[in-house]
Amino acid sequence: MKISSIIFLVLLVGSSAFFAYKVRQIIQNIKLGRSVNRTDNKGERLKTMIMVALGQSKMVSRPIAGIMHIFIYVAFVITQIELIEIIVDGASGSHRIFAPYLGGFYTFIISLIEVLSLLALIATFTFLARRNLLKIPRFTKSEMTGWPKLDGNIILYLEFVLVICIFTMNGADEALYLRGESHFAGQGSFGFALSSHIGPAIFGGMETETLHLVERIGWWGHFSVVLGFLCYLPFSKHLHILWAFPNVYFSNLKAKGEFTNMEAVTKEVKLMLDPNADPFAVPAEDPNAVPQKFGAKDVQDLTWVNIMNAYTCTECGRCTSSCPANITGKKLSPRKIMMDVRDRVEELGAGIRKEGKEFNDGKSLLGDYITEEEVWACTSCNACVQECPVNIDPLSIIVDLRRYLVMEESKIPAELMTMNTNIENNQAPWQFSPADRLNWKDEA
């Protein structure tokens, strides 16, 4: 086996192992959440996943960003075909191993990849301009400073380098093939859509040995960027490339605006409405029962779907730009809610792995990451849920944080306290007796 093949396999196995290790940690973090059953309606869930995650149906609601994203998305998917060949070539020491077997279809596939790569390059420059030059409001919010902004740019830089490496590799190989000096036996031209023209024009004047070096730089550069991206992915918002599919599959299929009821509260209400129930009866205690907590204070009180939502968040800001509270200057940003959940579960998960299940850093999601002001600013309109391109549900997290404040800490804004008191006493939000409810008709 060649030294180059050994180096190739060491890099491939090492990067894959590191990626698997980090993904395993993320799965452990997701499992810190409470259990919730999302195994119903399998057919509808599969259809939703195909439409939203695979088909990108919600992306095109904003055409420019949606179409540009589809360019990169399709290029990413189709380029994996060429990556398979690179892996086989790198492990075996061959060159373009599929070309002799696929013939003209091979030329078509690589040409398609080149065209898609060019479109992805156009999209890359568009996104870089939108993030750094045009100052689009949703990319300039306070939560998008520092690492989040850098993270959004890093992937675009990597995409640019990857496309350059693809055209360097193919273009230099075309120039070599025209001289009969390619690693792949033959003479003439591969006939690739773009590099058959770019290659001779840019690299045609180089010496043959230099061309071989340039082609290898492009080949190894392509492979290195892919491995670098693989190792970087678990630390980035671009993990949505993987999590989008299960996230959409397990998303909430119920009608927006339908709130979940807590089982313990529902049971108490039913007892109150049951004329045959004994109000003084002491319920039987289950020695194995876990103490019931109302709502959520920390990430362990959220469901595993909530935490997976946080890891799937693309930080695109569509939710925040559609949030009426945020638009009117309130502190609430649904995107920040998801980023805070992800940051907190990363912190908590690392502590648990280091010190065990009893780890307690004295922090919590509510208070240390998300403020009460943010929680109460929400109007519960579901605009954030509707806008999310991967079916993330920030509202369910906000509602659970509110539940904790109200039912565990008895904290509620004065305005809402007045309304709740009126509902309790008058069966309506207004401060007058139910007997007077129809008095308006006598004044009409």
Q: Quote the tokens at residue 130.
A: 């939108």
HEC string for the chain = CCHHHHHHHHHHHHHHHHHHHHHHHHHHHHCCCECCCCCCCHHHHHHHHHHHHHCCCCHHHCHHHHHHHHHHHHHHHHHHHHHHHHHHHHHHCCCCCCHHHHCHHHHHHHHHHHHHHHHHHHHHHHHHHHHHCCCCHHHCCHHHCCHHHHHHHHHHHHHHHHHHHHHHHHHHHHHHHHCCCCCCCCCCCCCCCCHHHHHHHHHCCCCHHHHHHHHHHHHHHHHHHHHHHHHHHHHCHHHHHHHHHHHHHCCCCCCCCCCCCCHHHHHHHHHHHCCCCCCCCCCCCCCCCCCCCCCCCCHHHCEHHHHHHHHHCCCCCHHHHHCHHHHCCCCCCHHHHHHHHHHHHHHHHHHHHHHCCCCCCCCCHHHHCECHHHHHHCCCCCHHHHHCCCCCCHHHHHHHHHHHHHHCCCCCCHHHHHHHHHHHHHCCCCCCCHHHCCCHHHHC
- CA–CA separation, 229 vs 231, rounded Å? 5
- CA–CA separation, 154 vs 159, rounded Å? 9
- Give the mean pLDDT of 242-255: 94
What is the pTM for the complete model shown?
Answer: 0.88
Residue predicted with more confidence, 265 or 15? 15
Q: What confidence category does residue 182 fall into, taking pLDDT thresholds of 50, 70 and 90?
A: confident
CATH for 263-271+293-426 is: 1.10.1060
Give the lowest-confidence range in 30-34, 45-49, 255-259.
Answer: 255-259
CB count within 10 Å of CB 69 equals 20
Whether 202 has a pLDDT exceeding 80, the answer reads yes
Output the pLDDT for position 70: 93
Output the pLDDT for position 281: 65
Read off the pLDDT of residues 370-386 as tens digits, 9 standing for 90 and up.
999 999 999 999 999 99
Whether 232 has a pLDDT exceeding 80, the answer reads yes
First and final C-alpha spacing in the chain: 95
- CA–CA separation, 306 vs 337, rounded Å? 11
Read off the pLDDT of residues 28-46 as tens digits, 9 standing for 90 and up.
999 999 999 999 999 999 9
Whether 186 has a pLDDT exceeding 80, the answer reads no
Q: What confidence category does residue 324 fall into, taking pLDDT thresholds of 50, 70 and 90?
A: very high
- The rounded percent of the chain whose pLDDT value lies above 70 is 95
Task: Specify which of 46-55, 172-181, 283-292 reaches the highest per-range mean pLDDT.
Answer: 46-55
- Give the mean pLDDT of 111-125: 95
Q: Which residue, 344, 411, 335, is CA-closest to 373?
A: 411
Output the pLDDT for position 259: 81
Output the pLDDT for position 286: 58
Output the pLDDT for position 326: 95
Q: Which residue, 316, 444, 440, 321, is CA-closest to 390?
A: 316
Q: For the chain, what is the mean pLDDT? A: 90
Task: Specify which of 26-30, 65-69, 197-201, 413-417 reaches the highest per-range mean pLDDT.
Answer: 26-30
Output the pLDDT for position 273: 79
Whether 289 has a pLDDT exceeding 80, the answer reads no
Output the pLDDT for position 171: 93
Output the pLDDT for position 187: 60
Output the pLDDT for position 285: 62
Output the pLDDT for position 185: 67
Whether 282 has a pLDDT exceeding 80, the answer reads no
Read off the pLDDT of residues 172-181 as tens digits, 9 standing for 90 and up.
999 998 888 8
How do the domains of the chain map onto residue ranges? 3-30+62-249, 263-271+293-426
Give the lowest-confidence range in 203-207, 249-253, 324-328.
Answer: 203-207
- The rounded percent of the chain whose pLDDT value lies above 90 is 69
Q: What confidence category does residue 153 fall into, taking pLDDT thresholds of 50, 70 and 90?
A: very high
